[in-house]
Amino acid sequence: MCLKKIKGTWTVYAKRFLPVLFLLFVACAGSTPQSEPPPEAPEGPVTIRFGTVSESFLKEIQELAIQYESDHPDVTIEMYPHFSQEEVVSVETLRQETDCFERFGVIRPGHELSSVMALQPFLDRDAELSEDSFFDAALDVYQVDGALVGLPAAIEPKLLAYDKRLFDQAGLDYPQQGWTLDEFRNAAVGLPTQSADGQSVYGFVPDLTQTGMLIDFMLLNGVEIFAYQDSPAQARFNHPDVIEAFEWYIDLIRQPGVGPNFVGELSLDHSEQFDQRHELTLTGRAGMWTLGRDPFYVFGSPKMAHVGAVPFPKGINGKELIERTRGYHISAETDVAQPCWEWIKFLTANETLTEFLIPARIDAAEAELVKFSDGPELAKARLEVVRNMESGVGKPYDFFGDWLYVSIGFLDIALVDVMSNGVPAEEALQTAQQEFSDYRSCIIENDLLESTDPIQIFENCIPNPDHPFLFWEPAVLRAPRE
């Protein structure tokens, strides 16, 4: 599938599978990016084919391209946006059809590195830019196998909101950045479990179901959910360290008063679940909750003075959760590498605080702080998190991507089996491992390893319409298996 070239116009594409747009990856040959010294800029007029995968940022980038062309009359920027209703653009496609490109998530080791250039040589010889120009955590995300494979554009830390009144009532200190998993657990268990009028109060309330937080806490427990050294990747669902992290999470959410573990909610659609949980946060019945993109949380307003924001606890490996990242990459073998470098460097300097993303460049973040639409308190909280974060772990490069993305549903089902049906964790994960192995074999047999169409993958290798595949049927979740 070819990218659609446009220039100077705003094209609207239908949105479908939005979380997938920035999380899916596709495998390609090779394991290391090109690391030779960057080629000199070609003489004469230059045309840069620039790929974008973000509909919401396209208009802004187009306007920046007009500005850049005005300041660099020998450079022409041609936009190659990709917002398909049917599939998600792969790194290999971007390499073939563009000179440099924007992308959510990062390049995954062992799969996509040959499609991009290593950027450290460009950075080393740049008089205007250095590692110190970026937040440490943002730059760290784009270091793969010791190579800088992208320039970070923006970063979104994963945050928790907390009710200061409930912490005060329990005599607990407010959480601070760098707090541990044990401190998080102690707070979730130690907060009040009942309001003054006798209603239940919960220590921790995720946006949706408890299954939605399973992977985050497994990552914080430092486990590798997949073995990427296998080709294709193999699940480690039944590995002892995965079982231990799985049981840690189950033990947490089973604690009295920690969270609304409604098994019955699996019969509801996600909008109803969100409304139920949102109501708990608005009525003072949640001690901590996941801070999503919710316009009702206007930090800094008098009505929200009792609400604070803090990052998720630091993982046992010292890393903190990152919700998502955006970055810029230079395609391998392009003959306009140096002009691409100058262009993407310009873009990083002009990042804005949009859609909860913090510019990865320190000067851009500081300059844009006052414009952030959330209100100054939350903007400052997010900026402080990123400023103090040394190393991050994000779902995009840990497990999400193409056929692996779909397979997370097996872990969702295992959690429901444990919570609903009393199945031992080890047994549920062994079942999940076997189901994954069968699914993996189907993927291989049907030549779907490089498919970027999740529906095609789902329909071919999870054909049973009665399979309770929770993650992939958000509108009408299936009941737990009998």
**CATH, residue 71:** 3.40.190.10
**Percent residues over pLDDT 70 in the chain:** 72
Asked whether the predicted pLDDT for residue 31 surpasses 70, the reply is no
Asked whether the predicted pLDDT for residue 23 surpasses 70, the reply is no
Asked whether the predicted pLDDT for residue 158 surpasses 60, the reply is yes
Q: Give the pLDDT mean for 19-42.
A: 45
Q: Give the pLDDT mean for 273-285.
A: 80
Query: Do the domain assignments include residue 46?
Result: yes
Asked whether the predicted pLDDT for residue 106 surpasses 80, the reply is no
Asked whether the predicted pLDDT for residue 89 surpasses 90, the reply is no
Rounded distance between C-alpha atoms, residue 229 and residue 236, angstroms: 12
Query: Do the domain assignments include residue 353?
Result: yes
Maximum Cα–Cα distance across the chain: 76
Asked whether the predicted pLDDT for residue 42 surpasses 80, the reply is no
Q: Average the pLDDT over each of 45-59, 64-78, 116-130, 365-379 and give the range with the smallest value.
A: 365-379
Query: Do the domain assignments include residue 260?
Result: no
Q: Average the pLDDT over each of 101-105, 210-214, 469-473 and give the range with the smallest value.
A: 469-473
Q: Give the pLDDT mean for 64-81.
A: 95
Residue 119 pLDDT: 95
| Cβ-based burial of 313 (10 A; exposed 0-12, middle 13-18, buried ≥19) | buried
Q: Average the pLDDT over each of 73-82, 248-257, 403-412 and give the range with the smallest value.
A: 403-412
Asked whether the predicted pLDDT for residue 466 surpasses 70, the reply is no
Torsion angle, alpha carbons of 324, 328, 332, 337, to 10: -170
pLDDT band at 28 (very low <50, low <70, confident <90, very high): very low
Q: Please say whether the beta carbons of 337 and 118 come within 8 A.
A: no
Query: Do the domain assignments include residue 366?
Result: yes
Asked whether the predicted pLDDT for residue 397 surpasses 70, the reply is no
Counted domains in the chain: 1
Asked whether the predicted pLDDT for residue 20 surpasses 90, the reply is no
Residue 7 pLDDT: 32
Range with the largest mean pLDDT of 8-22, 31-45, 92-106: 92-106
Q: Residues, the chain, total?
A: 482
Asked whether the predicted pLDDT for residue 38 surpasses 70, the reply is no
Query: Do the domain assignments include residue 418?
Result: no
Q: Give the pLDDT mean for 78-103.
A: 77
pLDDT band at 395 (very low <50, low <70, confident <90, very high): low
Query: Do the domain assignments include residue 333?
Result: yes
Name the residue with tokens 């995968």.
53
Q: Give the pLDDT mean for 422-448.
A: 94
Residue 306 pLDDT: 86
In this structure, the number of other CB atoms found within 10 A of the CB of residue 458 comes to 17
Q: Please say whether the beta carbons of 74 and 44 come within 8 A.
A: yes
Range with the largest mean pLDDT of 214-228, 264-278, 377-391: 214-228
| Amino acid type, 481 | R
Report the predicted TM-score, pTM, of the whole model to 2 decimal places: 0.76
E strand or H helix at 346:
helix 337-349
Pairwise pLDDT comparison (401 vs 251), residue with the higher score? 251
pLDDT band at 472 (very low <50, low <70, confident <90, very high): very low
* Residue among 293, 300, 309 nearest 375 (CA): 300
Q: Give the pLDDT mean for 289-312.
A: 68
Question: 49 lies in which domain range?
Answer: 18-156+323-390
Asked whether the predicted pLDDT for residue 65 surpasses 70, the reply is yes
Asked whether the predicted pLDDT for residue 250 surpasses 60, the reply is yes
Condensed to tens digits (0 to 9), the pLDDT of residues 174-219 reads 999 889 999 999 999 999 998 888 899 999 988 666 667 888 899 8
Asked whether the predicted pLDDT for residue 71 surpasses 50, the reply is yes
Pairwise pLDDT comparison (320 vs 68), residue with the higher score? 68
pLDDT mean across residues, the chain: 77
Asked whether the predicted pLDDT for residue 16 surpasses 60, the reply is no
E strand or H helix at 148:
strand 147-148
Query: Do the domain assignments include residue 328?
Result: yes
Query: Do the domain assignments include residue 120?
Result: yes
Pairwise pLDDT comparison (374 vs 383), residue with the higher score? 383
| Cβ-based burial of 482 (10 A; exposed 0-12, middle 13-18, buried ≥19) | exposed
Residue 320 pLDDT: 81
Asked whether the predicted pLDDT for residue 36 surpasses 50, the reply is yes
Pairwise pLDDT comparison (133 vs 333), residue with the higher score? 133
Residue 369 pLDDT: 67
Q: Give the pLDDT mean for 424-434.
A: 96
Tokens standing for 130? 């250095």
User: Please, where are the H alpha helices in 126-262?
Assistant: 136-141, 164-170, 181-190, 211-220, 240-254
Pairwise pLDDT comparison (144 vs 245), residue with the higher score? 245
